[in-house]
Amino acid sequence: MSEQKSLSVEVGAALPAADGAGGVVGVGVFTDGPRVPEALDGDLRELCERVTGEGEFEGEEGTTLLIHAPAGEGGTLRRVLLVGLGARAEFDAAAARRAAGAAVRAAKSGRAGTLHFVVPSSTDVRALAEGAHLGLYENGFYQKKDEEDSPRLERLTVIGAGESSVEKLERARVVAESANWARRLADEPGLSLPPREFARRAAEMAEEFGLKVESLGVEEIRAKGMGGLLGVGQGSEEPPALIAVRYEPSGAKEDDELYAFVGKGITFDTGGISIKHGLDMYEMKSDMAGGAAALGAVRAIAQLKPNCRVLAVVPAAENMPSGKSIKPGDIVRTFAGRTIECVDTDAEGRLVLVDGIAYARHLGATRIVDLATLTGSIIVALGSHRAGLFSNEDEWARQVLEASERAGEPAWRMPVSDDYKKRIESMIADYKNYGGRPDATAAALLLSKFAGETPWVHLDIAGTAWHDAPTPYAPKGASGAGVRTLVELVLSEE
Ligand code: BES
Ligand code: MN
Ligand code: ZN
């Protein structure tokens, strides 16, 4: 399992006269005129205009076409990859990210080592670079590959987009690599990523980037009275863990704002005694995607060094059926002291999250975002394009919503209100964990009871964290959802 080496991205002034062996020239093409970028000139411009003008390439998003152009003397040819950009008026940062993903994936399958990409002057270079780094992620890490035989795309030179800064390109690299790091964890099978191993990977990452680790083992979890996390984890041979990693800028003060990212860390969700049916159950290896995103975000933040304090908290457990499992009707006493009746053991995410949220507040969190692959219900409502956003504070909700939009990971606000409180009322305990539809809303309401007065946003990423089919910058599988949003949130606060 080799680490994926990073692509080097730079901005170039002009297209070189010839490409080295294994080089490809990418040309962005709109569906409407002027079809090709301003920066393209000479014979190449003429050729691209002819090919697009004759309807051989429409420029639709997600399409590419490889053609060959004569280059210099002696009949040598140059490989030209036409990359669809869609409609001119809709070419925003998100479209640039997608186009870059499609371009690098096509260049790579054409076994190119370098790509010179000629793009329109309006291109958002940071988004373009992000899409390129994200697009190169692959999840075949258990496949036998002959390294010699698979050349990798090493360099991307962006031409025609105008000025960009080294900082922007660096930020794109750091954010996308951290999203890829989170994807890697969420694509990892449950077998090789039980809670303690998840904690070990977090600690390894923290060590690499100078973060402080404050994780707890099962005995500390018990001693602190985190009954939600303990209850969900008790059916497994693998003990639960509470992963906590902290970023502090130099000169940080105790009363500075403390952002807490709380991520659901179910390393595998069988449903427990309320067991799931088998169809696609394997996807539940990614039920810790929220936790991976929270950690991925601090991984990026540690490198980008904003001037604010950030804490990632990941309650991690494996939800298994066994003779020791929590049963429907059992009651857990949470870290916050309130009790929850577990009427459905498959509604386990909220049980571990309430302990994570309460613990983050205990550690001094002044603003919270939790991320969780929490409910099938949110997939019914929003599909895989937008996450569900729930909040107890309008201004904080607006900030997270806007960050998610800028990051190209859009969300949609859903209600949290006591109108739905019947869904979480228990006869015997303070709350229950399931009460029928609408479940995403009920789950959010339960979480809100543990966020209290602290500004809190809950992102239900059940639909966005896993893709059933490849997208322009991700293969089928874990998407890394949330990492870009959280980094954008913290860095835009600067
Ligand atoms: N991890 C699942 C939610 C989920 C479902 C994520 C599909 C991604 C894809 C969660 O723990 C769960 O099982 N939710 C149940 C709750 C229900 C039984 C109360 C659900 O939504 O079906
Ligand atoms: Mn479940
Ligand atoms: Zn789950």
> Using one digit for the tens of pLDDT, what is the confidence trace for 376-409?
999 999 999 999 999 999 999 999 999 999 999 9
Q: Tell me the pTM.
A: 0.97
Indicate the average pLDDT of the chain. Answer: 96
Q: Does residue 2 register a pLDDT over 50?
A: no
Tell me: do 203 and 129 sit in the same domain: no
pLDDT value for 396: 98
Give me 367's structure tokens: 């603003």
- pLDDT for the residue 149: 65
Where does a domain end: 109, 133, 158?
A: 158
Q: The tokens of 252 are what?
A: 């940080």
Please, are residues 460 and 387 in contact by the beta-carbon 8 Å criterion? yes
Which residues partner with 261 through β-bridges?
312, 369
Report the residue among 326, 346, 433, 459 best suited for mutation to probe ligand 1: largest number of ligand atoms under 8 A from its CB: 346
- Write down which residue in 158, 189, 224 finishes a domain: 158
pLDDT computed for residue 171 by the predictor: 98
Q: Is the dihedral of CA 48, 53, 59, 65 positive or negative?
A: negative
Tens of pLDDT, residues 202-255? 999 999 999 999 999 999 999 999 999 999 999 999 999 999 999 999 999 988
- pLDDT for 314 beyond 70: yes
Which candidate in 155, 276, 338, 413 is catalytic? 276
| Domain presence at residue 325 | yes
- Residue 3 has a pLDDT of 57
Question: Which has the minimum average pLDDT: 18-27, 311-320, 430-439?
Answer: 18-27
Quick one: what percent of the chain has pLDDT higher than 70? 98
**Spatial separation of the C-alpha atoms in residues 423 and 437, rounded to whole Å:** 8
CATH number at residue 93: 3.40.220.10
User: What mean pLDDT do residues 169-193 have?
Assistant: 98
Q: Report the distance separating Cα 101 and Cα 58, nearest Å.
A: 18
φ, ψ at 461 (rounded to 5°): -105, 25
Going by pLDDT thresholds of 50, 70 and 90, the confidence category of residue 129 is: very high
- The answer to whether the beta carbons of residues 414 and 388 sit under 8 Å apart is yes
Residue 28's pLDDT band, with cuts at 50, 70 and 90, is: very high
CA distance 96 to 86: 10
Judge whether 144 counts as a catalytic residue.
Answer: no
- DSSP secondary structure letter of residue 324: T
Confidence of residue 1 (pLDDT cuts 50, 70, 90): very low
Same domain, 91 and 240: no
CB atoms within 10 A of CB 334: 25
Same domain, 261 and 395: yes
- pLDDT band of residue 4 (cuts 50, 70, 90) is low
pLDDT band at residue 76 using 50, 70 and 90 as cut-offs: confident
Q: What is the CATH number for 372?
A: 3.40.630.10
Q: Is the CB of 434 inside a 6 Å radius of any atom of ligand 1?
A: yes
What is the Cα–Cα distance from 92 to 4, expressed in whole angstroms?
28
Tell me the per-residue pLDDT of 401-433, one tens digit each, with 9 for 90 and over: 999 999 999 999 999 999 999 999 999 999 999
pLDDT of residue 419: 96
Contact call for residues 22 and 114 (beta carbons, < 8 A): yes
Residue 463 has pLDDT above 70, yes or no: yes
Section 319-330 average pLDDT: 98
Residues spanned by the domain of 120: 8-158
pLDDT at position 443 is 98
Q: Does some domain include residue 164?
A: no
Q: Is 452 in the pocket of ligand 1 (CB under 6 A)?
A: no
Boundary (domain end) residue, out of 158, 188, 210: 158
Q: Is 385 helix (H, G, I), strand (E, B) or coil?
A: coil
Closest to 294 (Cα-Cα) out of 249, 252, 248, 260: 260
Report yes or no on 446 lying in a domain: yes
| C-beta separation of 270 from 326 below 8 A | no
Pocket test for ligand 1, best of 268, 374, 382 (most atoms within 8 A of CB): 374
Tell me the per-residue pLDDT of 256-265, one tens digit each, with 9 for 90 and over: 999 999 999 9
Same domain, 24 and 101: yes
Domain identity same for 356 and 241: yes
The reply to whether 1 falls in a domain is no
Is the CB of 460 within 6 Å of ligand 1?
no
pLDDT band of 124, cuts 50, 70, 90: very high
Query: d(Cα 412, Cα 423) in Å, to the nearest integer?
Result: 22
Closest CA to 339 of 469, 329, 108, 365: 329
Q: Mean pLDDT across the stretch 296-308?
A: 98
Give residue 72's pLDDT. 73
Which of 12-21, 197-206, 263-272, 331-340 shows the lowest per-residue confidence on average (mean pLDDT)? 12-21
84 and 138, same domain (yes or no): yes
Are residues 345 and 328 in contact, defined by beta-carbon separation less than 8 angstroms? yes
Count of structural domains, the chain:
2
Cα angle at 418 between 415 and 419, to 5 degrees? 75
